[in-house]
Structure 1
Amino acid sequence: MNEHEFAARWVEEASQYAAWGNYITKHIVETLGQRIKDEHSTFLKIPPQPRLKKLESLIDKAFHRGKPYTDPYAQITDKVGVRFVVLLVNDIKFIEGILAEWKDIAYSKDRDYEKERVENPLEFTYQSVHYVVRAARAIEHDGLEIAEGTPCEIQIRTLLQHAHSELTHDSIYKPAAAVKADPSVLRVVARSMALIEATDECFDTVVEKLAEMERPFRETLAILGRLYHEWLHRPAELERSNTLILGAYSDLLGDNLETRMRDFIERKPYIVAQIALHAESSHLFRQASTLLVYMAASTRPHTTKDRWPFTTDDLTLIYSDLGINFDAY
């Protein structure tokens, strides 16, 4: 295949590759939305946009870089590509899991920075996970048929890896010979990559430890949310104010919270109607943690008032519902 034939085929098939990139991006973003729901909009730190390689770049890569291609059109697998940028190294595995379960594709790992670290432990260089994803069957998308075997390159990297790549990749790893030969430049780049690798690992450790610390609060909020829905016949709102309330009354959580809460409401069933009434006009009473505040105020009115993390307007309503003189504490 010569340059003219290569260009003619690309003009004919570019729209198919664009549809394939869109199809892959749509599936991964929608799957993230299903699995992590409200958090998926912030999970990806840069909105993924599939990008077609320019014809000039394809011709250059196929015929003028000394690549040992025997069939350049088939062997160049990044004619379309999409990049997914996440915060943590562990988040990369989340997207890898989506690829592993997807029946519409066949994929192979084209570059694995973790494997490269094992094979070259003293080398700190360009990092990214690269996959070549091919259509496992003929697929129709955007009104076009995507042929079986059509490739797309997927890059998955952390935000720090992406920043490093944007700064250095074109100027250091695809450089003029004079730049590449300067050891001082390469040493600085390697040092920055080492710092990024260490920072990514620290971020993962911090998130894991925070998740473990927050686990009791998440479990408590799940219990309160379930009870709120059961009693008020509406889903509870789970805003961040819940965390502040649970933190203020953490010593009340303990074991058997659901049993204790059910016993409390059984003794004071009118509280459910009062919460429903206040919820029409007050944000607090639409939160699951409101149930805990009622129980706290009933059993420890002085402590509950002292620890209350917000203005007292809503808390006075709770005390009034319980028949407790708020000003006495």
Structure 2
Amino acid sequence: MKSESEIGSYIEANRGELQAWGEVVVAEVCSVHSGLLKVPAAVRVKDPDSARKKQFKKQYKDPTVEMTDLVGVRFVVLTSADLLPILEAIRDSSTWTHRQTRDPDQEASADPAVFGYQSHHYELRPSAGAAWCCEVQVRTLLQHTIAELSHDAFYKASHVVPSQAMRLVARSIALMETTDELLCTAMQSARSIQAPYDAIKREAIFHAASLGGGGAELMDDLLEAYPSVFTYEGLDSFRAFVRERHFIFEKITSRSGNGIFGFPAACLVVYWIAEKQQRKVMKQWPFPASTDDLKMVLSDLGVSA
């Protein structure tokens, strides 16, 4: 098959199967990592007219095999910290063979002074069956934004693009790298608090089961008011506190359904915070309408309000 008309007709005749091949790729990656995607992954079958034009220019001997973008899929994640799981899913699959054709990390290492288009590109072909190629792009949301903005205006432009415009795009990409690095650092910092907080929350929910369960709805407010206590050291402290202060379970049960005591999981944490931060707990109390409840908690612990 060499002619331009033949490849166009071929795509039309096999559109359903080409679409299905792309959907196999999407389904396998999304079955594990759909939560990382910020733009829905969609399958694109190459437009017949675009294929005819490409065949006219490239003159492939067999465009059904050599044309690497008969099918296209794009996976867009939030930041560069989220790229690796998607890349590993592509590399480790036995459903297809893969070849990486663009690696922005290697490109940056080879030419560190240049700021250009950034996206991981792979060519995937089924391990069995037709040798159709699915081109997969994996990029961050910032990379995607710049790529979409510049694709038609620069890459597909029918006129000479001014050098000043190209320079502005390069500066935008440099700024994008800096922004991504700052966002990754900020998110890592946030996760350093979130992980121990989640662990303490799970522990509180577990112990609250003996009090009727529930009551974790107020935990986020406690995190915002007393962030310094929610650490891994704090987790050990909370566990010891609950183990050694059995009387608080009786206190919560006796006041069940009233104020803060109607939220057992959060109430256990309140008792713990009240003992740890006796001087700050009242000042930073996030529930003004339940100040009397906190006074009762402090009284139970033998702490002056």
TM-score (norm. length: structure 1): 0.76
Q: Does 1:309 align with 2:286?
A: yes
Is 1:261 the equivalent of 2:268?
no
1:306–1:209 Cα change, 3 Å: closer
Kept in 2, the 8 Å contact 1:110–1:130? The answer is yes
Q: 1:316 to 1:204 in 2, by over 3 A?
A: same
Out of 76-85 and 250-259, give the one that drifted further.
Answer: 250-259
Q: Report the counterpart of residue 250 of structure 2 in structure 1.
A: 270
The answer as to 2:69 corresponding to 1:92 is no
| Deviation (angstroms), 1:227 | 4.5
- Superposition deviation, residue 274 in structure 1: 5.9
Within 5 Å, give how 1:59-78 maps onto structure 2: 59-63=52-56, 66-67=57-58, 69-78=60-69
Cα deviation for residue 11 of structure 1 reads 2.0
Per the normalisation by structure 2, the TM-score is: 0.81
Measure, in 1, the Cα distance between the counterparts of 2:14 and 2:261: 54
Contact 1:44 1:84 in 2 (8 A): yes
Indicate which of 50, 55, 69 corresponds to 2:48. Answer: 55
Could you tell me which of 120, 130, 147 is aligned with 2:111? 120
CA distance in 1, matches of 2:261, 2:49: 57
Alignment equivalent of 1:159, drawn from 118, 123, 141: 141
The one-letter amino acid of 1:61's match is: K
Evaluate the alpha carbon distance shift between residue 30 and residue 119 of structure 1 in structure 2; reply closer, same or farther with a 3 A threshold: same
Once residues 165 and 239 of structure 2 are traced to their aligned partners in structure 1, the CA distance between those partners, rounded to angstroms, is 61
**Contact 1:225/1:236 (CA < 8 Å) preserved in 2?**
no
Partner residue of 1:7? 8
Cα distance, 1:161 vs. partner?
1.3
Question: Which residue of 218, 227, 231 maps to 2:195?
Answer: 218
Decide whether the 8 Å contact of 1:245 with 1:309 is kept in 2.
Answer: yes
- Measure how far apart 1:46 and its partner are: 1.8
Tell me the distance in 1 between the aligned counterparts of 2:90 and 2:270.
44
Measured in 2, the distance between the counterparts of 1:273 and 1:148 equals 67
- Would you say how many aligned residue pairs link Structure 1 and Structure 2? 298
Q: How does 1:1-329 map to 2 (within 5 A)?
A: 1=1, 2-32=3-33, 40=35, 43-63=36-56, 66-67=57-58, 69-137=60-128, 147=129, 149-176=131-158, 178-180=159-161, 182-212=162-192, 214=193, 218-232=195-209, 237=216, 240-247=220-227, 249=229, 253=234, 255-264=236-245, 266-271=246-251, 273=253, 277-278=256-257, 285=263, 288-297=265-274, 303-313=280-290, 316-317=292-293, 320=296, 329=305
Contact conserved, 1:117 with 1:123, CA < 8 A, in 2?
yes
What one-letter code is carried by the residue in structure 2 that aligns with 1:79?
A: L
Kept in 2, the 8 Å contact 1:25–1:49? The answer is yes
Q: Render the CA deviation track for 1:155-191: whole Å, top value 9, x for unaligned.
A: 1111221111111122212333x414x3233222222
Relative to structure 1, the CA distance from residue 254 to residue 92 in structure 2 (aligned partners, 3 Å threshold; closer, same or farther) is closer
Say what the alpha-carbon RMSD is for the aligned residues.
Answer: 3.3
Question: CA shift at 1:197, angstroms?
Answer: 2.2
Deviation at 1:318, TM superposition (A): 5.9
- Distance in 1 (CA, whole Å) between partners of 2:261 and 2:53 is 60
1:156 partner amino acid: V
Give how far 1:301 is off. Answer: 6.0
Do the aligned partners of 2:74 and 2:137 also contact (CA within 8 Å) in 1?
Answer: yes
Change (3 A) 1:134 1:296: same
Counterpart amino acid of residue 152 in structure 2: D
Decide whether the 8 Å contact of 1:92 with 1:158 is kept in 2.
Answer: yes
Q: CA deviation at 1:31?
A: 0.8
Over 3 Å counting, the alpha-carbon distance change for 1:103 and 1:120 in structure 2 is same
In 2: Cα distance, 1:120 partner to 1:247 partner: 43
Alpha-carbon distance in structure 1 between the residues aligned to 2:215 and 2:30: 27
Deviation, structure 1 residue 116: 1.2
1:278–1:285 Cα contact (<8 Å) kept: yes
Which one-letter code corresponds to 2:248 in the other structure?
Answer: K
- C-alpha distance 110-21 of structure 1, shift in aligned 2 (>3 A): same
Give the percent of matched residue pairs that are identical in Structure 1 and Structure 2. 28
CA distance in 1, matches of 2:100, 2:262: 49
Q: Is the 8 A contact 1:88 1:203 kept in 2?
A: yes
